[in-house]
Structure 1
């Protein structure tokens, strides 16, 4: 065989590998878009019950075809405060089980007979490509993406298989795998490094299976390389946790320690096993047999370590030390997006869901400020400390508006459904309304400070009116935020009715205030501040009305 032939085979293998990785990515994206809401519902079932966590982890990974992607999402959820470490440990264990489905899919070329995927892959690719190109229906196009990914994946496998087949009797390959099989640590290292480089254990196992189909790989080397692949897949989560909080880093460490312990246990067992059954160790392994071992390994390690999940959580705490936060750290923490994390952008349905949660948190900070202001308005001498907290939280609200806006821009560029696109658009308007409401709360705090500094007193009647109107505004704004949180039209309608009541009260109290001025029972200085406070309260109610209408519009069209 000439040098040109060798180079051609190398190019064919590289191209096949590229198609395999790209096909896996496209198929996973299509599955995520199609089943995104179902994944959200699955994660909604998570409690502190680790068994449910394992099932959910396995199902989600089977859907998106990547344990690395699932674990990265888990790191993101932990970082965003959506999931605790006990839940994360269960999902991570389940992810290792779910990832075995890809190996079975690849090995189907051996055991599926006339129905082997490689045979139908070109037709499936063609059908999917035609639908993606000519269909205007979003849901149908998303399902067609799965078909395109499936077809490209198996055509890539075919390329790799045919390019490597000419070397199946080559002594170089047999010697290489003999060395890898003879040294367990080297075999595990190679498996870990290759998987870390391509950041997918499913893909690296698929490459190993392609070599096995041509009779190049022996049992001993395949087993140790597979163990290494399970360690190498942790690199994605570790890299993902680099910019996350310490709890998220602990989730990545749980993933790594789980796979290292599992690989260590099986490494010892299989070394002893091959020492006894030496003849089997050097026999060629098939792609199906790799699938069987891969499944047995991941399922048995999960069963074995499942009772020790809390031990893994504690171990992660020893590796990543938690330090108590001071008040300054807490203030910085307020500025951070708790529910939004770049990792969640991998799954659009989760990204939208958590954007809503972050907007709700922003609204709740405004509500907290309003309650502070209401409490201090009733005090003869407002607390400087409490008013300072109002001003500090207003800075947090402004900062969150900027950060959430940037995140919504990223979400808007994802593949969203029509309803999700509408939600994201409305969230842009919502955060603007919430920020403006926060500005008016700050204005009220400033009016109170001015009133105190200038020693201006309100009449008892004016205090009573302000108290009633503030209570109604808080109630109305709370209805609006809860409507966002629960996507509830009925709660939104409560906010609209609350806003009408605020308008009625504002007109009535303004009229009564003018009458007091005419009777000279109220000094002009107090009257100016009173009117300004009433105006700010009425504006806050208007913003609540806007927010409620967004929710009604999203659900009734």
Structure 2
């Protein structure tokens, strides 16, 4: 029993070592590896070679699969070159298994020692993370030695012989066991190294070892497919295509495993080297044979996993026509229309928020969160659409319009986030605790909400038409809102002084809400600055705008002279 625990702990150490190497390499060179993979899509041989190199570094084909599927899911890479990279990853992990089975016992203590020194002294630097990689390599080599040491006495144990006696004769059972080993250890590399060690110790026969190797490759494909369950259909196709290639290899090679084991057994190598050599040969032949078929496999996987139709209740851009990008003025008009649509959704969020404040309806809360997701989706679409429009090719007027669109889109996206935050605050501090605002407090919030709606509509009108008069009105509305917000804050303090129970219970929420409304108002009114600063403004309009700004400054001074004590605030409105 003790020897079995020693073997399990050695296997765990092997898995942990591969994990440390993988995470250390990704932390130091993750960005570079992503860039290499994303650029190696022009030719299949180049993509194949990139898969080999990246997997050799990170010591895990699963890590490479995660990188590639993320690219395909984001639309940055086509499916066919991604499958070529995955084939290269299978060869890369086989080559690393060969390297790690060399006599590297002298390297383990050196790698662990210098790795610990680098990691502890330079923990937050790239050199410190490379120290982490050295530690992982040392642990892998040490784990292999421990597995050999733990497996040798087990060859004489009757219980172990009975346990592995079931792995003789049935190639399908042996292959499924190898797949299970790979899934449990979360690494086909670890499963293959363990198989080679068990074969060297005569715990299993060479034929069983070869079946376990074939199964381990299949298990890594199943792992990759499980890891893409959260991806979209495009991302899952990568893992599906890689798994189908591995299934085809299993189907073709398993019926021949008997003659192959006899042929391999005649090679002038040790048993461990025979297993690893078969692993390299099997993956190399299979992947090279499948490389010309990546386009056909991509088409087949696309038919098996078609893109899911977008639900009707999910917002999609309506006006962002890619063909219009060749005509910047038309493309800007499309972006303006989509931004106005964002504004309509934000206004709907505002309306629902007031209803939640009044009634606490949880269904409206869910609707607000869905609308915020719609705002985020439209914002991303507008941002990417404008990014495809080279600003250096725009005339000065179109360049200013481009900046206005992106600024308003950013403000509306932030407004959606603020409204969702306000919803959470209302549900946590009011609805869940069965509290309510005082009549005066609710009236104040309603008044500020109404003014917010008016200012939002006015800002969208100013954005659409570039109206100077509307911009000045919006600017003055912003000052009035600030004045009104301060008055209501003072009125709330006065209610607290009068010991109004409802005001005391909802004091924090009340002040937070009017503060968030002030932030919303600033975001809505920001477009006025861009319009008033427009150099295309006529001289007469510019003078009027300056007069309006002076009036705003006077109002700001009046606001600063507002009474600040609760007793004085009772005299205000």
1:440 to 1:200, Cα distance in 2 relative to 1, 3 A: closer
1:131 to 1:88, Cα distance in 2 relative to 1, 3 A: same
Q: Do 2:342 and 2:378's aligned partners in 1 also have CA atoms closer than 8 Å?
A: no
Aligned to 1:512: 540
Aligned to 1:99: 93
Superposed CA deviations along residues 263-304 of structure 1, whole A, max 9, x for unmatched, are 111112324545xx49949x9961111111111011100111
Q: Do 1:56 and 1:91's aligned partners in 2 also have CA atoms closer than 8 Å?
A: yes
In the TM superposition, what is the alpha-carbon distance from 1:181 to its structure 2 partner?
Answer: 3.8
**Which residues in structure 2 correspond to 1:25-174 (within 5 Å)?**
25-108=19-102, 116-135=103-122, 138-170=125-157, 173=160
Q: Give the whole-Å Cα distance in 1 for the aligned partners of 2:50 and 2:64.
A: 10
Tell whether 2:185 aligns with 1:195: no
**Which residues in structure 2 correspond to 1:94-493 (within 5 Å)?**
94-108=88-102, 116-135=103-122, 138-170=125-157, 173=160, 179-273=166-260, 277=262, 280=265, 286-325=271-310, 328-329=313-314, 331=316, 371-372=332-333, 387-388=340-341, 391-392=344-345, 395=372, 399=376, 435-436=410-411, 446-447=457-458
Superposed CA deviations along residues 439-480 of structure 1, whole A, max 9, x for unmatched, are 799999833766899xx9969xx99xxxxxxxxxxxxxxxxx
Tell me which of the two structures has the higher relative contact order, counting C-alpha pairs closer than 8 angstroms and 6 or more residues apart: 1
SS of structure 1 residue aligned to 2:155: coil
Q: Give the whole-Å Cα distance in 2 for the aligned partners of 1:255 and 1:438.
A: 39
Q: Do 2:179 and 2:212's aligned partners in 1 also have CA atoms closer than 8 Å?
A: yes
Q: Do 2:13 and 2:140's aligned partners in 1 also have CA atoms closer than 8 Å?
A: yes
1:368 to 1:309, Cα distance in 2 relative to 1, 3 A: farther
SS of structure 2 residue aligned to 1:182: coil
1:434 to 1:88, Cα distance in 2 relative to 1, 3 A: same
SS of structure 2 residue aligned to 1:331: coil
1:147 to 1:369, Cα distance in 2 relative to 1, 3 A: farther
Superposed CA deviations along residues 284-329 of structure 1, whole A, max 9, x for unmatched, are 9611111111110111001111111122223323432444446545
In the TM superposition, what is the alpha-carbon distance from 1:180 to its structure 2 partner?
Answer: 2.3
SS of structure 2 residue aligned to 1:99: helix
Superposed CA deviations along residues 419-448 of structure 1, whole A, max 9, x for unmatched, are xxxxxxxxxxxx999732767999998337
In the TM superposition, what is the alpha-carbon distance from 1:387 to its structure 2 partner?
Answer: 3.8
SS of structure 2 residue aligned to 1:82: coil
Structure 1 window deviating more from structure 2 (173-182 vs 314-323): it is: 173-182
1:375 to 1:177, Cα distance in 2 relative to 1, 3 A: closer
Q: Give the whole-Å Cα distance in 1 for the aligned partners of 2:110 and 2:306.
A: 54
Aligned to 1:356: none
Name the larger-Rg structure: 2
CA RMSD of aligned residues (A): 4.6
In the TM superposition, what is the alpha-carbon distance from 1:143 to its structure 2 partner?
Answer: 1.4
Q: TM-score, normalised by structure 1?
A: 0.61
Q: Do 2:339 and 2:408's aligned partners in 1 also have CA atoms closer than 8 Å?
A: no
Q: Give the whole-Å Cα distance in 2 for the aligned partners of 1:158 and 1:457.
A: 75
SS of structure 2 residue aligned to 1:180: coil
In the TM superposition, what is the alpha-carbon distance from 1:397 to its structure 2 partner?
Answer: 7.6
In the TM superposition, what is the alpha-carbon distance from 1:30 to its structure 2 partner?
Answer: 1.9
Aligned to 2:18: 24
In the TM superposition, what is the alpha-carbon distance from 1:207 to its structure 2 partner?
Answer: 1.1
Q: Do 1:177 and 1:218's aligned partners in 2 also have CA atoms closer than 8 Å?
A: no
1:322 to 1:368, Cα distance in 2 relative to 1, 3 A: farther
Q: Give the whole-Å Cα distance in 2 for the aligned partners of 1:207 and 1:100.
A: 13
How many residues are treated as equivalent by the alignment?
Answer: 401
Superposed CA deviations along residues 34-69 of structure 1, whole A, max 9, x for unmatched, are 322331331232225222221111111111000111
Aligned to 1:472: none
Q: Give the whole-Å Cα distance in 2 for the aligned partners of 1:438 and 1:369.
A: 23
